[in-house]
């Protein structure tokens, strides 16, 4: 029987240098899309997929993340005094049941695989999810929930996948397809950041994973790969040889690369336009901006 996935790892140890100077004093994951930090979108998605235990792999300078998911007695008391029930209600999304959230520090940046490995004792012998909060996915049914449903059919290891422009493939983990079944793809190889000429396809790995405890064991070997880092992709690829149990999942939804400035801006526009309270004003501002820009050309 397939075991339920109830634990998720959120690797959030990165320095976020692409967003300096902002990330000099705030973690990248606290940067906001409209009015919620990136990490909130990741947590909401995990909750929708049935995750009950949230494991953050952090580093020095990330304490704002811990505060975000803690109670805020001063703010809450003030809101209560002023009768601001709607704002008190809104804060509930940041509440975590005691013991549901854990923080582990990755002392040295040694790659995504190493970050995931840091959580091994909390994962034990269970399947687990990994969510990279930089990849924000707007979807009717949250992406990880779609994957949990697909996992119900396949079991094993599933990675979110998306077709990218061939010249962009070398920025990703890339799948070598054994059998294409539409939304589910059976995988026969995986390469992290392949050279343009060596990419086995243009089906790229996006930051959502459901993995077996075997992958954690593979990470125990701490083998370095692309960029001299311990790569999660390599530990998953090792499972192809060992069990053949690796699948790609073409999710339904739009992915934004919030690890890049352009992607973050695009997500801001998309999420702003998706909001009932902002749409009209924001849309007319955007079209005005476009008209001004066209006129200037």
Q: Which is nearer to ligand G1P, 150 or 232 (CB)?
A: 232
Q: Is residue 175 within the footprint of ligand G1P (CB under 6 A)?
A: no
Stretch that binds ligand G1P, among 59-67, 72-80, 86-94, 202-210 (CB under 6 A): 202-210
Quickly list DSSP for 189-253: EEEES--GGG-S-SEEEEEEEEE-HHHHHHHHT--B-GGGSB-HHHHHHHHHHHT--EEEEE-SS
Stretch that binds ligand G1P, among 70-78, 95-103, 179-187, 204-212 (CB under 6 A): 204-212
Q: Counting beta carbons within 10 angstroms of the beta carbon of residue 123, is it exposed (0 to 12), middle (13 to 18) or buried (19 or more)?
A: buried
Q: Is residue 206 within the footprint of ligand G1P (CB under 6 A)?
A: yes
Q: Is residue 238 within the footprint of ligand G1P (CB under 6 A)?
A: no
Q: Which is nearer to ligand G1P, 62 or 79 (CB)?
A: 62
Whether the Cβ atoms of residue 215 and residue 241 lie closer than 8 Å to each other: no
Q: Give the position of tokens 């422009």.
A: 165
CB 53, min distance to ligand G1P, A: 22
Q: Is residue 132 within the footprint of ligand G1P (CB under 6 A)?
A: yes
Check residue 2 and report its DSSP letter.
P
Q: Which two tokens stand for residue 165?
A: 């422009």
Whether the Cβ atoms of residue 166 and residue 70 lie closer than 8 Å to each other: no
Q: Is residue 112 within the footprint of ligand G1P (CB under 6 A)?
A: yes
Gap between the Cα atoms of 50 and 54, Å rounded: 11
Given phi > 0 = left and psi -120 to 50 = alpha, else beta, which region is 124?
Answer: left
Q: Which is nearer to ligand G1P, 39 or 79 (CB)?
A: 39
CB 89, min distance to ligand G1P, A: 33
What CA–CA distances, in Å, run from 77 to 69, 70, 80, 283? Answer: 17, 14, 5, 36
Q: Pick from 173, 225, 248, 272: which binds ligand G1P (CB under 6 A)?
A: 173
CB 249, min distance to ligand G1P, A: 14
Stretch that binds ligand G1P, among 32-40, 47-55, 78-86, 205-213 (CB under 6 A): 205-213
Q: Which is nearer to ligand G1P, 55 or 112 (CB)?
A: 112
Check residue 183 and report its DSSP letter.
S
Cis peptide before 59 (omega within 30 of 0): no
Q: Is residue 205 within the footprint of ligand G1P (CB under 6 A)?
A: yes
Q: Is residue 176 within the footprint of ligand G1P (CB under 6 A)?
A: no
Q: Which is nearer to ligand G1P, 172 or 264 (CB)?
A: 172
Nearest C-alpha neighbor of 14 from the set 283, 260, 293:
260
Stretch that binds ligand G1P, among 147-155, 201-209, 265-273, 284-292 (CB under 6 A): 201-209
Long-range CB pairs of 268-273 (<8 Å, 24+ gap) are 268/33, 268/34, 270/138, 271/33, 271/34, 271/138, 272/34
Q: Pick from 172, 249, 256, 264: which binds ligand G1P (CB under 6 A)?
A: 172
CB 123, min distance to ligand G1P, A: 19
- Around Cβ 93, how many Cβ atoms within 10 Å? 11
Q: Is residue 207 within the footprint of ligand G1P (CB under 6 A)?
A: yes
Binding residues (CB under 6 A) for ligand G1P: these are: 112, 132, 135, 172-173, 192, 204-207, 232-233, 259
């Amino acid at each position: 029987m397939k075991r339920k996935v109830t634990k998720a790892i959120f690797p959030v140890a990165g320095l976020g240098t692409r967003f300096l100077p902002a990330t000099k004093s705030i973690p990248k994951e606290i940067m906001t899309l409209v009015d919620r930090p990136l990490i909130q979108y990741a947590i909401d998605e995990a909750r929708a997929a049935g995750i009950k235990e949230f494991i953050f792999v952090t580093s020095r300078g990330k304490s704002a993340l811990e505060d975000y998911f803690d109670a805020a007695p001063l703010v809450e008391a003030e809101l209560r005094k002023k009768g601001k029930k709607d704002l008190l209600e809104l804060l509930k999304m940041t509440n975590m049941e005691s013991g549901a959230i854990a923080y582990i520090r990755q002392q040295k940046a040694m790659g995504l695989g190493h970050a995931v490995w840091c959580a091994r004792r909390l994962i034990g012998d269970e399947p687990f999810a990994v969510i990279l909060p930089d990849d924000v996915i707007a979807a009717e049914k949250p992406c990880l929930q779609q994957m949990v449903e697909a996992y119900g059919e396949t079991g094993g290891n599933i990675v979110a996948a998306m077709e990218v422009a061939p010249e962009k493939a070398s920025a990703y983990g890339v799948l070598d397809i054994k059998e294409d079944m539409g939304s589910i793809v059976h995988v026969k190889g995986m390469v992290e950041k392949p050279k343009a000429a060596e990419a086995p396809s243009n089906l790229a790995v996006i930051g959502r994973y459901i993995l077996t405890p075997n992958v954690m064991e593979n990470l125990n070997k701490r083998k370095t790969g692309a960029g001299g880092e311990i790569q999660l992709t390599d530990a998953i690829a090792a499972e192809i040889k060992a069990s053949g149990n690796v699948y790609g999942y073409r999710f339904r939804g739009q992915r934004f690369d919030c690890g890049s400035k352009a992607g973050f801006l695009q997500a801001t526009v998309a999420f702003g336009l998706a909001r009932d309270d902002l749409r009209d004003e924001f849309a007319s501002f955007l079209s005005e901006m476009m008209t001004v820009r066209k006129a200037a050309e």
